[in-house]
Amino acid sequence: MAGPGENLHPELRGLKGLNQQAEDKNQHVDKEGGLSGGERDMAPVTGNSIHRSGSRPQLDLSKAEIQGNFEERDPTILLPNQSDDISHLALDIGGSLIKLVYFSRHEDQSVDDKRKRSMKQRLGLSNGNRRSYPVLGGRLHFVKFETSKINECLDFIHSKQLHRGACKDLPHWHSDSANENAVIKATGGGAYKFADLFKERLGVSLDKEDEMDCLVAGANFLLKAIRHEAFTHMEGKKEFVQLDHNELFPYLLVNIGSGVSMIKVDGDGKFQRVSGTNVGGGTYWGLGRLLTKCNSFDELLELSQKGDNGTIDMLVGDIYGGMDYSKIGLSASTIASSFGKTISVNKELKDYRPEDISLSLLRMISYNIGQISYLNALRFGLKRIFFGGFFIRGHAYTMDTISFAVQFWSKGEAQAMFLRHEGFLGALGAFMSYEKHGLDDLLAHQLVERFPMGAPYTGGKVHGPPLGDLNEKISWMEKFLQKRTEITAPVPMAPPGTTGLGGFEVPLSKGETLRSDASALNVGVLHLVPTLEVFPLLADPKTYEPNTIDLSDHSELEYWFTVLSEHLADLVDKAVASEGGTDDAKRRGNAFARAFSAHLRRLMEEPTAYGKLGLANLLELREECLREFQFFDAYRSIKQRENEASLAVLPDLLLELDSMNEEARLLTLIEGVLAANIFDWGSRACVDLYHKGTIIEIYRMSRNKMQRPWRVDDFDVFRERMLGSGDERPLPHKRALLFVDNSGADVVLGMLPLARELLRRGTEVVLVANSLPALNDVTAMELPDIVAEAAKHCDILRRAAEAGGLIVDAMIDSADGSKERSCFVPLMVVENGCGSPCIDLRQVSSELAAAAKDADLVILEGMGRALHTNFNAKFKCDALKLAMVKNQRLAEKLIKGNIYDCVCRYEPSH
Ligand SMILES: CC(C)(COP(=O)(O)O)[C@@H](O)C(=O)NCCC(=O)O
Ligand SMILES: [Mn+2]
């Protein structure tokens, strides 16, 4: 099929009945998509939509004001309603590092709007089924300090008031008391050593928790609650491991701190320390410091990147004249004796390069730990070994060395795995030891990890949490550009090779691929969202993978990186215009562009830096980043303009549809959905098109191009399910969930008429829309007004909207004063729990999960929801996936077709 743009011509045939008046109302889509002040005033007040979502905690920006002089370069912005004060802190004070885990709770700011109230009633959702102590929404932060800088740590706690009101076994939010008897959970030797200092400086006591208990509790929590926590690391390649919770135990936990503990874990609280070694992180750092005069652990680690251990270690090749000792599986590069070469030549310490010494030492210690771990796993018949502790620091070479030792000695039987939150096991465990925080049974789907601005980008000394204040963030991004600071992240790995016959070749994951800065924690802030649920209609949540395209293929990642980078300038223009184009908006826009580019570059360099990466994550990251710079709805005016234009032509479309027989109507409706999906401001090709005609012209053109068979065309099977064949008349579906996509023609002329058809046939319809804006997607907040407007022209929609509580005012008051629902089939709206063009069905709003319980038909619409994600998703009920492919590469890859081809994939339940 040719691209619709190629044929855009004045003699476009109109849809029968589209009137001229509507055409006139229709404005040209201007190039910038920018807005004059007047247009902006017309936009609905969606500024506070952010509070309405309630699904994912957000900043409370209400009553935000600039403090001091507006002309100032970096004025402080006050967020008086942002309550970050309800906190909860636990510490792990080790020999070299202090690890902090703290929780900040945000009050539930969701506005209980009319739509939500009526949906809650209808779906039987109430607070009544909550547990006795609530799981609180909030954020879990991970921070570390060097133990030698304990005063900085105390200042940090004080500045954030993290110690305020902490009571034993009672998290802060239960306590009104001031600091009397305040107690903070702490583990590690420093909990004893520094107890007096904490009392003196902060007036709090440290409640000491057993270190082993904490390590195990922390590891168990992470392995159960965080989806992509554990990964393997072999020959420079990182792969996340999907763990079956039922088969987690037993495992060996190896915690590499200053010393090393090896713990056999059999369950929650069930473990035994089976071994350990005194040759650990402290040994590397201590010996390394003596031998190289390095000033910090990280400096030592950085040195190792440029090292060649062949000058220090005696290798098999040295003994065998450059040959492998293949009979016992040793390559020439295998270390026969660590530091062995230093005895045989007449050299002083000063004659050796510190880089080489550091590398030899690192290899010696990592290999030794790997080998002892394997022997202990063998002792107890354990197959899985998880390595944690801050010795590892996400250091590729350390992990490769350990993995190699485990793999080599176990002949591939045992597996070494690493943890993303490696250094925080103890602190997390101490945190978990507070009773009744309600976090112990949190599940993976209730946690959303976010990577905000701040520490992750700096190579330097920034420690502590992400920058909190918007202004801080902007200034930071400005400085970031001025200094041209490089992001400290590894460059792409060389293609993995082989380590030969059991030995180490020059490591692949070395040199520039090493991450040397300790500040790159590689862990984000964990947002705890207790209301998120797994979509109940997924056929197999365990094997469900939302992303269709695998971004671990580097060329794919590069392609999407380029697409998103090229789209950035346009997006910033729209975002700035959506905020009135003020200087402040421009400044924020620039900062956003820099921050997002930095995220992209970071991910290009290390795609797994933020956990497993899919296209959906990239697209969501962009939206999150916009929100972080307080652009809450960049496409607001475009959406509104397109809604108005489409609503104006809706009556004629409905008339035309009503003049058709059922079969022709169904086809026209599906065609309509596919055609109207062209209104996608996230697709470069489509945006180019919009400069060539009005919304309605483009819509018509797109409809005229709808020729079957579509590239994926299951329409006949769908029609048969809906209309039957011959005399047989199938039962209508009971309830359909329609995952809607874009505003304007897409929802008004595409999905709403389809919803109307289902309603007409007696199927309840739930429109599922985004909780937060993303591109030009329609949100759940915006839908009731759109439906109400459409309902003015259509009885079916009006009655259904009344029955679904969408048009509340029109409901009849009954004798007892309550609003009585009409007995018509209802049309409802629920939010999906996300703010992205894609949807991960493992994390949806509880409202949607409740609505899904009675549904027997799911319709997913759009490229983001039906192609980028969920194209391969299987459902327990009938599923229809409808989308126009608006990207040439995706069309070729996914459906072996071309841009503007359509997908109508119908998968009946079995
Ligand atoms: C962001 C989108 C997934 C939105 O598509 P939609 O779900 O609205 O159909 C899509 O526009 C997209 O993949 N855009 C990037 C590719 C491009 O510009 O060609
Ligand atoms: Mn969309």
Tens digits of per-residue pLDDT, 274-326?
999 999 999 999 999 999 999 988 899 989 988 999 999 998 888 877 776 77
**In the structure encoding, which two tokens stand for residue 426, read together?**
């103890």
- Whether residue 784 has a cis bond before it, omega within 30° of 0: no
Which ligand places an atom closest to the C-alpha of 860? Answer: 1
CA distance 416 to 369: 11
Task: Output the pLDDT for position 242.
Answer: 87
What is the position in ligand 1's atom list of the atom closest to the CA of 564? 15
> Of 480-484, 553-557, 688-692, which gets the smallest average pLDDT?
480-484
Say if residue 50's pLDDT is above 80. no
Interval between CA 101 and ligand 2 midpoint (Å):
37
What is the position in ligand 1's atom list of the atom closest to the CA of 887? 19
What is the position in ligand 1's atom list of the atom closest to the CA of 865? 7
Highest mean pLDDT among 9-18, 48-57, 67-76, 129-138: 129-138
Which ligand places an atom closest to the C-alpha of 861? Answer: 1
**Please, are residues 433 and 213 in contact by the beta-carbon 8 Å criterion?**
yes
Neighbours of 818 (CB within 10 A): 9
**Please, are residues 614 and 549 in contact by the beta-carbon 8 Å criterion?**
yes
Which ligand places an atom closest to the C-alpha of 568? Answer: 1
**Please, are residues 265 and 375 in contact by the beta-carbon 8 Å criterion?**
no
SS3 percent helix, strand, coil of the chain, rounded to 5, is 40, 15, 40
Which ligand places an atom closest to the C-alpha of 863? Answer: 1
Task: Output the pLDDT for position 480.
Answer: 56
The more confident residue out of 134 and 665 is: 665
CA distance 100 to 160: 12
Which ligand places an atom closest to the C-alpha of 774? Answer: 2
- Per-chain mean pLDDT for the chain: 80
Closest CA to 595 of 472, 424, 725: 472
CA distance 131 to 142: 27
Closest CA to 867 of 694, 648, 682: 682
Interval between CA 682 and ligand 1 midpoint (Å):
5
What is the position in ligand 1's atom list of the atom closest to the CA of 886? 19
909 contact partners, CB below 8 Å, separation of at least 6: 856, 875, 876, 877, 878, 879
What is the position in ligand 1's atom list of the atom closest to the CA of 687? 18
- Burial-class residue 481 by CB neighbours within 10 Å (0-12, 13-18, 19+): middle
Interval between CA 683 and ligand 1 midpoint (Å):
5
Q: Average of pLDDT values for 441-456?
A: 69
Say if residue 903's pLDDT is above 60. yes
CA distance 40 to 31: 17
Highest mean pLDDT among 90-99, 107-116, 365-374, 599-608: 365-374
CA-proximal residue: ligand 1, atom 15 (nearest): 683
Closest CA to 472 of 628, 581, 601: 628
Interval between CA 59 and ligand 2 midpoint (Å):
24
Q: Which residues line ligand 1 (CB under 6 A)?
A: 563, 619, 677, 680, 682-685, 741-742, 775, 837, 862-865, 868, 883, 886-887
DSSP state at residue 875:
B
Interval between CA 263 and ligand 2 midpoint (Å):
49
CA distance 95 to 411: 35
CA-proximal residue: ligand 1, atom 8 (nearest): 680
Closest CA to 586 of 575, 597, 599: 575
Interval between CA 909 and ligand 2 midpoint (Å):
26
Q: Average of pLDDT values for 481-495?
A: 35
Closest CA to 239 of 451, 517, 496, 621: 496
Interval between CA 861 and ligand 2 midpoint (Å):
9
Across 317-337, b (16+ Cβ under 10 Å) vs e yields bbeeeeebbeeeebbbbbbbb
Which ligand places an atom closest to the C-alpha of 866? Answer: 1
Pocket test for ligand 1, best of 683, 740, 741 (most atoms within 8 A of CB): 683
Identity at 675, one-letter amino acid code:
A
Pocket test for ligand 1, best of 870, 886, 893 (most atoms within 8 A of CB): 886
Which sign, positive or negative, has the C-alpha torsion 218, 220, 225, 228? positive
Chain-centre distance for alpha carbon 336: 45
CA distance 514 to 880: 46
Q: Average of pLDDT values for 367-376?
A: 97
What is the position in ligand 1's atom list of the atom closest to the CA of 681? 11
Interval between CA 666 and ligand 1 midpoint (Å):
26
Tokens 């069930």 belong to 270
What is the H or E stretch that residue 240 is in? strand 237-240
Interval between CA 554 and ligand 1 midpoint (Å):
20
Task: Output the pLDDT for position 73.
Answer: 33
Task: Output the pLDDT for position 151.
Answer: 92
Interval between CA 17 and ligand 2 midpoint (Å):
27
Q: Which residues pair with 764 in a beta bridge?
A: 735
> Of 249-263, 460-474, 670-684, 741-755, which gets the smallest average pLDDT?
460-474
Pocket test for ligand 1, best of 639, 689, 863 (most atoms within 8 A of CB): 863
Q: Average of pLDDT values for 881-885?
A: 98
Identity at 732, one-letter amino acid code:
P
**Please, are residues 103 and 88 in contact by the beta-carbon 8 Å criterion?**
yes
- Whether residue 492 has a cis bond before it, omega within 30° of 0: no
pTM as predicted: 0.81
CA-proximal residue: ligand 1, atom 16 (nearest): 683
Q: How far apart, in Å, are the Cα atoms of 882 and each of 428, 674, 739, 829?
A: 44, 6, 10, 19
Interval between CA 640 and ligand 1 midpoint (Å):
19
**Please, are residues 868 and 685 in contact by the beta-carbon 8 Å criterion?**
no
DSSP state at residue 467:
P
Identity at 127, one-letter amino acid code:
N
Q: Which residues pair with 527 in a beta bridge?
A: 139, 448
Task: For residue 704, name the pLDDT band (cuts at 50, 70, 90).
Answer: very high
CA-proximal residue: ligand 1, atom 13 (nearest): 683
Pocket test for ligand 1, best of 620, 642, 680, 690 (most atoms within 8 A of CB): 680
Q: Average of pLDDT values for 481-508?
A: 35
**Please, are residues 749 and 650 in contact by the beta-carbon 8 Å criterion?**
yes
Closest CA to 401 of 306, 311, 335: 335
Closest CA to 73 of 819, 752, 609, 583: 583
Highest mean pLDDT among 80-89, 499-508, 624-633: 624-633
DSSP state at residue 662:
H
Task: For residue 822, name the pLDDT band (cuts at 50, 70, 90).
Answer: low
What size, in residues, is the chain? 910
CA-proximal residue: ligand 1, atom 17 (nearest): 683
Q: Which residues pair with 737 in a beta bridge?
A: 766, 858
**Please, are residues 592 and 631 in contact by the beta-carbon 8 Å criterion?**
yes
The more confident residue out of 450 and 475 is: 450
Interval between CA 152 and ligand 1 midpoint (Å):
46
Q: Which residues pair with 230 in a beta bridge?
A: 419
In the sheet with 251-256, reading across from the earlier edge strand, the strands are 237-240, 230-234, 415-419, 384-388, 251-256, 260-267, 270-277
178 contact partners, CB below 8 Å, separation of at least 6: 164, 165
Which sign, positive or negative, has the C-alpha torsion 183, 189, 190, 195? positive
Q: How far apart, in Å, are the Cα atoms of 538 and each of 245, 722, 883?
A: 19, 22, 20
Say if residue 639's pLDDT is above 50. yes
Interval between CA 39 and ligand 1 midpoint (Å):
26
List, for residues 776-804, the tens digit of each pLDDT value: 999 999 999 999 999 998 999 999 999 99
Chain-centre distance for alpha carbon 183: 34
DSSP string, 441-460: T--GGGEEEE--SSGGG-SS
Provide, rounded to the nearest whole percent, the portion of the chain with pLDDT above 70.
75
According to DSSP, the β-strands at 76-78 and 65-67 are: antiparallel
Task: Output the pLDDT for position 572.
Answer: 97
Residue 463 exposure: Cα atoms within 13 Å on the Cβ side: 19
